């Protein structure tokens, strides 16, 4: 973004004079700018083009609800501008501004950190369970398999005859992954109540300071889909409960569940679907990793294709064993 355009945008908020600004290097879809001014440090967020105004407005109300309910972690709640609005539209793009949240990313998930994550997610789930938040979209059913499979098949049809390494890996792995996803039994999952959950608790979106969680970012999924609370838990297991070989560590997962249930109980039906949710999530991420390699290769890694495929197959192979371990 040119400095002139940035100055014009920032002038809509009363945050002082721009001292420095730079484009954030993290994040796969949204484009954020880190801005230092005479009054502090901020993030200017440019929303992803695929976001419609209804999704964006719901995200604004969602963040406002968490703030009003005293959610005890910092969140990217947009600041009001000089016109008393949180959202700005410039041509076809939407922007918001929020205070920069200072914090680090977790490098190692030990019991102490898993306890912190369990407490944070249980607090959020308890608030959502009591809310009347309604994003007006349908519930996620059947693990979202129809959309995932259709997208992967569309990718296959677009692969040219002259294939590069990413195309070869995608073609090789996608056939077996589609079979695995199609074979999941979604009856229990479909019967669970769905909510507008965060759905992306990866290490980049949880900020830490002095071994404590201080902030949560990236709420872009809340306006686009409703899902069961255990989807959040499945994503935590994917990123924080694996060993050095990136295989599932059921001991860590069981410890996390015990910590979570200190604040919110889980039924056996919920626990039974976590492994299948992990399988579906990894296959979905496999497809997304390929999309990134095609569309934004500067933000993508070829190794992610093999990582998500390997985890999906490993979980599928050991599915029954892991389900029993989580329930008992």
Provide the pLDDT for residue 22. Answer: 87
- Regarding whether 141 and 10 lie in a shared domain, the answer is no
Query: Considering the domain boundaries, does residue 136 fall inside one?
Result: yes
Token pair listed for 66: 């968490």
- Write down the residue that tokens 């801005």 correspond to: 35
- Is the pLDDT at 29 greater than 60, yes or no? no
7 and 151 together in one domain: no
**Cβ neighbours around 67 below 10 Å, total:** 12
| Stated pTM of the model | 0.92
Q: Looking at the structure, do residues 243 and 273 belong to the same domain, yes or no? A: yes
pLDDT score for 28: 53
Q: What is the mean pLDDT of residues 90-116?
A: 93
Structure confidence at residue 89 as a pLDDT band (50, 70, 90): confident
Average pLDDT over residues 5-33: 81
* Contact partners, residue 320, CB within 8 Å, separation at least 6: none
Q: How many domains does the chain have?
A: 2
**Nearest to residue 18, comparing CAs of 31, 3, 2?**
3
Radius of gyration of the chain (CA): 20
**Does pLDDT of 79 surpass 90?**
yes
- Tell me the CATH number at 204: 3.90.1200.10
> Are 80 and 127 contained in the same domain?
no
Residue 185 lies in a domain: yes
3-state secondary structure of 325: helix
The answer on 229 and 147 residing in a single domain is: yes
Tell me the average pLDDT of the chain. Answer: 93
Question: Helices in 26-110 by DSSP H: which ranges?
Answer: 53-68
pLDDT(328) > 90: no
What is the Cα–Cα distance from 273 to 257, expressed in whole angstroms?
Answer: 14
Residue 84 within any structural domain of the chain: yes
The reported pLDDT for the residue numbered 280 is 96
Which pLDDT value is given to residue 245? 61
My answer on whether 85 and 137 are in the same domain is: no
Q: What is the pLDDT of residue 274?
A: 97
* For range 4-16, the mean pLDDT: 87
Q: Is there a single domain that holds both residue 185 and residue 38?
A: no
Please check the confidence at residue 191 and state whether its pLDDT lies above 60. yes
Confidence of residue 27 (pLDDT cuts 50, 70, 90): low
| Percent of residues, the chain, with pLDDT higher than 70 | 97
Give me the pLDDT at residue 51, please.
74
Residue 105 falls inside a structural domain? no
67 and 157 in one domain?
Answer: no
pLDDT at 216 exceeding the cut of 60 = yes
The residue segments making up the domain with residue 9 are: 3-99
Q: What is the pLDDT of residue 30?
A: 58
Q: What is the per-residue pLDDT for 92?
A: 83
First to last CA, the chain: 54
Please say which residue of 78, 99, 120 terminates a domain.
99
Apex 296 CA angle, 295 and 300, nearest 5: 120
123 shares a domain with 95: no
Q: Which among 206, 195, 266 is positioned nearest to 236, based on CA atoms?
A: 206
CATH number for the domain harbouring residue 48: 3.30.200.20
Q: Considering the domain boundaries, does residue 12 fall inside one?
A: yes
Q: Are 37 and 88 in contact (CB under 8 A)?
A: no
Name the one residue in this structure whose structure tokens are 């992306």. Answer: 200
Q: Does some domain include residue 104?
A: no
138 secondary structure, DSSP code: P
Same domain membership, residue 184 and residue 94: no
* Residue 199 located in a structural domain: yes
Length of the chain: 328
What pLDDT, on a 0 to 100 scale, did the predictor assign at position 52? 85
Average pLDDT of the segment spanning 218-234: 95
Q: What is the mean pLDDT of residues 276-302?
A: 93
> In this predicted structure, what is the pLDDT of residue 104?
95
Reported confidence tier of residue 308, pLDDT bands at 50, 70, 90:
very high
- If asked whether residues 63 and 192 sit together in one domain, one would say no
Q: Name the more confident of 296 and 117.
A: 117
Domain shared by 116 and 43, yes or no? no
Among 71, 99, 127, where does a domain finish? 99
Distance, CA of 263 to CA of 269 (rounded, Å): 18
Residue at a domain's end among 72, 99, 126: 99
Tell whether the model's pLDDT for residue 6 goes beyond 90.
no
The Cα–Cα gap between 138 and 151 comes to 19
């Amino acid at each position: 973004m040119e400095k002139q355009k940035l100055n014009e945008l920032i002038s809509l908020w009363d945050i002082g004079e721009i001292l420095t600004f730079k484009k954030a290097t993290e994040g796969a879809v949204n484009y954020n700018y880190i801005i230092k001014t005479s009054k502090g440090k901020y993030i200017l967020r440019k929303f992803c083009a695929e976001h419609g105004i209804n999704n964006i407005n719901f995200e604004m109300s969602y963040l406002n609800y968490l703030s009003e309910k005293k959610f005890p972690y910092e969140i990217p709640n947009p600041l009001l501008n000089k016109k008393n609005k949180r959202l700005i539209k410039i041509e076809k793009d939407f922007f918001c501004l929020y205070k920069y949240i200072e914090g680090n990313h977790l490098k190692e998930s030990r019991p102490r950190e898993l306890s912190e994550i369990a407490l944070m997610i249980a607090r959020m789930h308890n608030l959502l369970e009591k809310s009347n938040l309604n994003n007006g979209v349908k519930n996620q059913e059947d693990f979202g398999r129809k959309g995932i499979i259709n997208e992967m098949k569309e990718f296959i049809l677009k692969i040219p005859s002259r294939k590069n390494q990413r195309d070869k890996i995608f073609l090789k792995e996608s056939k077996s992954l589609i079979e695995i996803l199609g074979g999941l039994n979604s009856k229990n999952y479909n019967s669970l109540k769905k909510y507008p959950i965060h759905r992306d608790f990866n290490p980049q979106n949880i900020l830490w300071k002095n071994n404590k969680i201080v902030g949560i970012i990236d709420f872009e999924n809340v306006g686009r889909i409703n899902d069961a609370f255990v989807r959040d838990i499945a994503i935590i297991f994917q990123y924080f409960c694996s060993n050095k070989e990136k295989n599932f560590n059921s001991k860590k997962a069981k410890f996390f569940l015990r910590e979570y249930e200190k604040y919110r109980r889980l039924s056996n039906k919920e626990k039974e679907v976590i492994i299948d949710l992990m399988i579906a999530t990894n296959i979905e991420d496999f497809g997304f990793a390929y999309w990134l390699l095609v569309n934004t290769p500067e933000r993508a890694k070829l190794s992610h294709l093999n990582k998500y495929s390997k985890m999906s197959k490993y979980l599928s192979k050991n599915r029954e064993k892991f389900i029993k371990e989580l329930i008992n």
